[in-house]
Chain A
């Protein structure tokens, strides 16, 4: 067959041939010159189809010569010459016309070569022909539908050899060509086979790259999943796609060893902790030890690093997708799916680290709808007895962290949410009469701690609005906190300490007995109420440590250093520079102060801000010691060396 084929004369093509295959004559006519040596035998489309049909039929009965030739053409892959391309296109088109003759058993090798083809290896003409063939196959018989869908799904990502090329413009244009065809093929198939999306769903999920797969592969695949979500099949497959992406985010998140890196020894200063880690890194680089935490931090954190980068990229991809959804006015419907997914997976996941920032960012994009909806869902879970205590505690921890950190939330709304928490706690107080019992009253303690935590961040901003200030004063917070079960003793000491300090300064209320905390992060009682999961020290929206994601989150985020506390006027200045002519009494709404600390923070470049924030964060409010994480992920040695010098006030430029 390969010897006899030549370009058919366009004039020979009869008008009875379908419009789709008319292009063939035109295309091949361009290649005419190359065929001059061969016999000038002209085939019309019909004759080609007939020829292929015969080849297939004879293969069924044992004579497989033409059939083998056909398969041989399929296997040409790299650097096809123009006549090879033409040959391939011709074969594919002829096959499209003979799909009804293709038998799943007798023509297995042909089918496997077709399904094994990767569109990334070819140019647009071959892509088009191949796609047409796949669509025809899928529509012709139920037996081929799954394989066709599978083949298209496998074309979501390029073959490994192609991955490096993706970054070049050539690779990007090829990607565009392939993916647009793949998705339109999927749509065509669902048009002809209405139940195809159902099969597509399960296949896409099955083939989704796992945590350990190559990062580019995963990102490209997820891009495709998002494309499906926003495409015409979106209503049918969209929510499953989103849920699967969130699941994968969570999988990556949970791979990062929280326990591997967290240092439980809270008596050490931060810098000592970091410098120690640094030494350990150098020692353990070549160590082949086991994977216990502490001793071999470097190996674990390096491993976490790769995963963290993947998580970072995936989060950024999701953020960008949310932005595009917002652009198309679809954010709210996408958000509903995300909310549902959050509720059934992330909320109950053991200390999810960063996956929840998807919700944060979505809320930031649309505070009035998404932002409100999210908080309301969390409060509803907290106050509802139907949910298990763990879920309720987790919900209120999310709520507290969210209300404190969301720059886009109005003081008014925060006050409303606070009121709901306070009301519930008050009801609880009126009903319960028990003594200190961290386990029995754990949901209550979680609620109290949430109220205190939010007020640590937001007290000033609430106080600055007279109407809200009076609402705050009317709230029976004192009654709740001075209840027999003694939340002030049980809740996290650092939170309680900071809260009391601010409450006294604001004259919200005072306590008669003094609480001496000495900057202890946690106590036995708090650990008891927090339980095994340590929900007492769970602040899910603490600063995001993933570099790329953080650049999205940062503009919408309140760092502790930005918060103006009620006792700011009397605040000691051991860590601020001197000589600034700034007035302390500057009022600002929403806690974003113009004070010295904030100015210092914003005048640094991006990297330094991280260090600055974390330093303050650890010292003040953020309980979980994350400095070491930061250094493993994003920083190099430079920051470590520089940081101590930044803290010394006299050498920081802003002090001058």
Chain B
């Protein structure tokens, strides 16, 4: 999946003096407050971080309350989908007019019927809604399918993606991988393993495997 990157960052986190007895906790708290928000500076949505405090000496910001600036070195997992990137998500709802997808468990995406290529048509099969390809009978998109789609635009505030299923390399990942393949089989396996171990905000999610994908939200829903 495109759009995911790991960046190295040198950060300085300024803490209120009241937090000086528990610096690590305060630093983590501060960084956590930026999770799942789009940051102009990082140019992406912060999904996970791994920090090391570089210097035990902090610089002081002078003022009424001397804030403590702690220097950090961090590895940041960022998600920044740009137009024309291919990203993947889990289908949660199908209507005659749209396909609703959730990407990485937190970003909502919608593909409107005008952006779904002609070969797909909406059908109701045994009470279940599906988008079935007229060209390939086995290419089916239903609730729970992992789909790969093209990014048209991203709403940075609410992290809402507009997508498209126009290109022929988009659609159900399961079917696409079987019939097109992306590189050698080994490459594909490695990619899937890497995605499986992505740590998102402390929770592990597994990507690229439509059977066992359980996003944090889905797990919560199932538990409740």
Answer whether A and B are interacting partners. Answer: yes
Residue positions of A touching B, CB distance < 8 A: 15-20, 49, 97-100, 136, 139-143, 145-146, 191-195, 198-199, 232, 234-235
Q: Closest chain B residue to A190 by CB distance?
A: B217
Pairwise interchain contact A195-B95, C-beta atoms closer than 8 A: no
Check if B124 is an interface residue, CB within 8 A of chain A. Answer: yes
Pairwise interchain contact A15-B155, C-beta atoms closer than 8 A: no
Sample of 9 further A-B pairs with CB below 8 A, known A145-B160, A235-B224 = A18-B124, A19-B127, A99-B97, A100-B98, A139-B108, A140-B112, A141-B160, A142-B159, A195-B108
What CA separation (Å) do A100 and B113 show in the bound complex? 9
The one of A19, A199, A235 in contact with B129, judged by C-beta atoms closer than 8 angstroms, is A19
Q: Which residues of B contact A141 (CB under 8 A)?
A: 110, 155, 160, 162
Q: For the complex, would chain A's binding face be called helix, strand, loop or mixed by DSSP majority?
A: helix
Check if B96 is an interface residue, CB within 8 A of chain A. Answer: yes
Q: Closest chain A residue to B114 by CB distance?
A: A100
Can you name 14 A-B pairs with beta carbons within 8 Å?
A18-B95, A18-B122, A100-B97, A136-B98, A140-B110, A140-B112, A142-B160, A145-B158, A192-B102, A193-B158, A195-B107, A199-B158, A232-B224, A235-B224
Check if B201 is an interface residue, CB within 8 A of chain A. Answer: no
Once A140-B98, A142-B158 are accepted as A-B contacts, the answer to whether A194 and B108 lie under 8 Å apart by CB is: yes
The one of B97, B107, B123, B221 in contact with A16, judged by C-beta atoms closer than 8 angstroms, is B123
Once A140-B98, A194-B107 are accepted as A-B contacts, the answer to whether A235 and B220 lie under 8 Å apart by CB is: yes
What CA separation (Å) do A234 and B129 show in the bound complex? 30
Pairwise interchain contact A97-B97, C-beta atoms closer than 8 A: yes
The one of B100, B122, B220 in contact with A192, judged by C-beta atoms closer than 8 angstroms, is B100
Q: Closest chain A residue to B216 by CB distance?
A: A194
Quote the shortest CB–CB distance from A48 to chain B (angstroms): 12
The one of A142, A145, A192 in contact with B93, judged by C-beta atoms closer than 8 angstroms, is A192
Check if B120 is an interface residue, CB within 8 A of chain A. Answer: no
Check if B106 is an interface residue, CB within 8 A of chain A. Answer: yes
Give the 7 A-B residue pairs with the shortest CB-CB distance, closest first: A142-B155, A142-B160, A142-B158, A193-B108, A100-B112, A18-B96, A232-B224
What CA separation (Å) do A143 and B155 show in the bound complex? 8
Once A20-B95, A100-B98, A139-B108 are accepted as A-B contacts, the answer to whether A195 and B124 lie under 8 Å apart by CB is: no
Quote the shortest CB–CB distance from A631 to chain B (angstroms): 45
What CA separation (Å) do A566 and B159 show in the bound complex? 69
What CA separation (Å) do A571 and B224 show in the bound complex? 59
Quote the shortest CB–CB distance from A238 to chain B (angstroms): 12
Q: Which residues of A contact B215 (CB under 8 A)?
A: 194
Check if B36 is an interface residue, CB within 8 A of chain A. Answer: yes
Write out, one digit per residue, whether chain B residues 108-140 have a CB within 8 A of any chain A CB (1) or not (0): 101011100000001110010100000000000
Q: Closest chain A residue to B215 by CB distance?
A: A194
Q: Closest chain B residue to A132 by CB distance?
A: B95
What CA separation (Å) do A100 and B92 show in the bound complex? 18
Q: Which residues of A contact B106 (CB under 8 A)?
A: 194-195
Check if B40 is an interface residue, CB within 8 A of chain A. Answer: no
Q: Which residues of A contact B155 (CB under 8 A)?
A: 141-143
Q: Closest chain A residue to B220 by CB distance?
A: A235
Q: Which residues of B contact A232 (CB under 8 A)?
A: 220-221, 224
What CA separation (Å) do A19 and B125 show in the bound complex? 10
The one of B108, B129, B224 in contact with A18, judged by C-beta atoms closer than 8 angstroms, is B129
Pairwise interchain contact B124-A139, C-beta atoms closer than 8 A: no
Check if B105 is an interface residue, CB within 8 A of chain A. Answer: yes
Q: Which residues of B contact A16 (CB under 8 A)?
A: 122-124
Check if B157 is an interface residue, CB within 8 A of chain A. Answer: yes
What CA separation (Å) do A246 and B107 show in the bound complex? 32
Q: Which residues of A contact B98 (CB under 8 A)?
A: 99-100, 136, 139-140
What CA separation (Å) do A195 and B92 show in the bound complex? 15
Quote the shortest CB–CB distance from A135 to chain B (angstroms): 9
Q: Closest chain A residue to B224 by CB distance?
A: A232
Q: Which residues of B contact A20 (CB under 8 A)?
A: 95
Q: Which residues of A contact B105 (CB under 8 A)?
A: 194
Q: Which residues of B contact A142 (CB under 8 A)?
A: 155, 157-160
Quote the shortest CB–CB distance from A189 to chain B (angstroms): 10
Q: Which residues of A contact B158 (CB under 8 A)?
A: 142, 145-146, 193, 195, 199
Pairwise interchain contact B127-A192, C-beta atoms closer than 8 A: no
Q: Closest chain B residue to A191 by CB distance?
A: B92
Interface centre among A136, A143, A193, A194 (most CB of B within 10 A): A194
Quote the shortest CB–CB distance from A18 to chain B (angstroms): 5
What CA separation (Å) do A143 and B96 show in the bound complex? 22
Quote the shortest CB–CB distance from B94 to chain A (angstroms): 9
Chain B stretch 53-105: residues in CB contact (< 8 A) with chain A: 92-93, 95-98, 100, 102, 105
Quote the shortest CB–CB distance from A316 to chain B (angstroms): 28
What CA separation (Å) do A100 and B160 show in the bound complex? 14
Quote the shortest CB–CB distance from B115 to chain A (angstroms): 9
Q: Closest chain A residue to B129 by CB distance?
A: A18
Quote the shortest CB–CB distance from B144 to chain A (angstroms): 13
Q: Which residues of B contact A193 (CB under 8 A)?
A: 108, 158, 160
Quote the shortest CB–CB distance from B92 to chain A (angstroms): 6
Pairwise interchain contact B110-A17, C-beta atoms closer than 8 A: no
The one of A18, A139, A234 in contact with B100, judged by C-beta atoms closer than 8 angstroms, is A139
Quote the shortest CB–CB distance from B114 to chain A (angstroms): 7
Quote the shortest CB–CB distance from B146 to chain A (angstroms): 16
Q: Which residues of B contact A143 (CB under 8 A)?
A: 155
What CA separation (Å) do A20 and B97 show in the bound complex? 12
Q: Closest chain A residue to B121 by CB distance?
A: A16
Quote the shortest CB–CB distance from A622 to chain B (angstroms): 37
What CA separation (Å) do A100 and B97 show in the bound complex? 8
Q: Closest chain A residue to B158 by CB distance?
A: A142
Pairwise interchain contact B108-A19, C-beta atoms closer than 8 A: no
